[in-house]
Chain A
Amino acid sequence: MSSKKQASSQLRVGDNPLVKWLLVGLTLFLTAILLVVPLIAIFQQAFVEGAAHYFNSLLEADTLHAIGLTLLVAALTVPVNLVFGVMLAWSVTRFEFPGRKLLMTLMDIPFAVSPVVAGLLYLLLYGNNGWIGAWLYEQDIQLMFAWPGIVMVTVFVTCPFVARELIPLMQQQGREDEEAAVILGASGWQLFRRVTLPNIKWALIYGVILTNARAVGEFGAVSVVSGNIRGETNTLPLHVQLQYEDYQAAAAFASASLLAFIALLTLLFKAFIEWRQERQEATL
């Protein structure tokens, strides 16, 4: 976000140094209490019993399995939602059709719905009593309380993120570049790869990273459909809960520190993109 330097020497609201430092100070104080200290506490608690304990608890078989399952879920979820996000963003920003607004509202459902409800929806449909689940059961296919169910609810919960990052940007950029390319004879794929993709590259990457962060960290929905079988259907966030409720706080925070690290990388990347954008705007 760019802070606009004022060209004029006119006074604006809150320019008084006393007001400024009071507000900045209050903000920093509250942010420190609400955000910074909790972030530090995660790592402090993870190392509270020493570094050896930290690494040993991460190398436990169940923890390693949880890490592997979590990576698998993310690796399957992200590509699906990447394709969906691009398709949806292309259709709603490049064309006008009846129901366009409704489509954008429907896309937001996962933001509004409680993750527990999301998990339940899938359990009712694909569980053994559901109308699809009963048929799957006859075919001997088990989706719920197994990794496919975890992937399915994770896709549900994280599907809006890529589209959410792309839509405002693509609306702002307009369609002129792409229309020119078509008139010059570009094919659909050439158009996307040479014109659209370079324009939306960074937003797309950020959308993917955000999707990944949420896919790795989903708790409520996954906990409904996973069945919490230790060493089998436990993702990393579920494993954190298990260890925490088992009074292995240091081990729980060790697992949590991996998730917090991914979150930090996500924030760092976003800061990098914004810094890049500001520089670009400054050189124009």
Chain B
Amino acid sequence: MATHLSAAPIRPRHKRVLPGLSLSLGTSLLFISLILLLPMTGLIMQSVDMGWARYWEVISDERVVASYKVTLWAALIASVFNGFFGLLLAWVLVRYDFWGRRILDALVDLPFALPTAVAGITLATLYAQNGWYGDILSSLGLKIAYTPWGIVLAMAFTSIPFVVRTVQPVLEELSPEEEEAGMTLGASDWSVFRRVIFPALWPALMTGIALSFTRSLGEFGAVIFIAGNMPYVSEITSLMIFVSLQEFDFPAASAIASVVLMASLILLFAINIWQARYLRRLHGRN
């Protein structure tokens, strides 16, 4: 979804004949300023108003710091899992023909289309002790719902499509020559995969994992139902913002939100710069 993988072919500069630059660009800029940028002023003003000492006190509060750790760890585990599962899905969808391939391809997008609250109550019900999965897991002595693992599960579920959809197009466009050469020379499947295919895929794979990680950091709806939301143990940072709001502590909510917002903006810019660089390399080589 959030990828720039089909980059514009490089074309010679020529005279502009198409109409609508000022209309379309004007509308876009106005929209982005009003809808996306203007609302940030409120947060900045609120955070500046509260003063540095109070700001630091809020964002370094023990319970809040515990929530950063839980959120970061859970997002990391979820996105690494999706790295493996997404690569597997993309590979199977591109390389093999089998009954139900098209259904599988469509199903991959389910987590994007399904409202997060619906995902949340469903996962919580399935993994609760009397649920279909919870029942099996508890007989094995495992517990996922209402523990930090529930957070990992919900984050993994909601971000499954990212890796698949970034890796899939690259895998489709991979030219077979090098691979066939390797196979003809008698190299094993695994070593050709490792030396020829994986190097071509890994930038896309990393992008997908990074997108999945970013999305997981911000996930709220799916997580809160299954997390159990125990202070210091299974509270995510978005929930801390929400809790402060329910206590009408706007300064505290703003302070925590400013940390989350900065982290996501830094990640967003980093991913986009990284993507632009590897796309240039990709197209320079071809």
Residues of A at under 8 Å CB distance from B?
A: 1-4, 6, 8, 10-14, 16, 19-20, 23-24, 26-28, 30-31, 34-39, 41-42, 45, 83-84, 86-88, 90-97, 101, 103-118, 120-125, 129-132, 155-156, 159-160, 164, 167-168, 171-172, 174-175, 178-179, 182-183, 188, 191-192, 210, 213, 216-220, 223-224, 237-238, 240-241, 244, 249, 252-253, 256, 259-260, 262-264, 266-268, 270-271, 274-275
Contacts and interface: CB of A to CB of B under 8 A. Distances in A.
Contacts of B110: 35, 39, 263, 267
Given A12-B180, A13-B179, A111-B214, 15 more contacts: A14-B91, A14-B95, A95-B18, A104-B272, A114-B220, A116-B242, A117-B257, A120-B245, A120-B253, A168-B4, A213-B113, A217-B114, A224-B242, A253-B125, A256-B122
B121 A125 contact: no
B21 interface: yes
Interface in B146-165: 156-157, 160
A19 B92 CA distance: 11
Interface in B95-146: 95-98, 100-119, 121-123, 125-126, 132-133
Given A124-B254, A213-B113, A13 B193 contact: yes
A106 B32 contact: yes
B35 A8 contact: no
A120 B241 contact: yes
A116 to B, nearest CB: 4
A149 to B, nearest CB: 12
Contacts of A116: 218, 220, 238-239, 241-242, 257
A104 B39 contact: no
Given A13-B192, A168-B5, A20 B28 contact: no
B16 interface: yes
Q: Which residue among A20, A114, A171 has the maximum number of chain B CB atoms within 10 Å of its CB?
A: A114
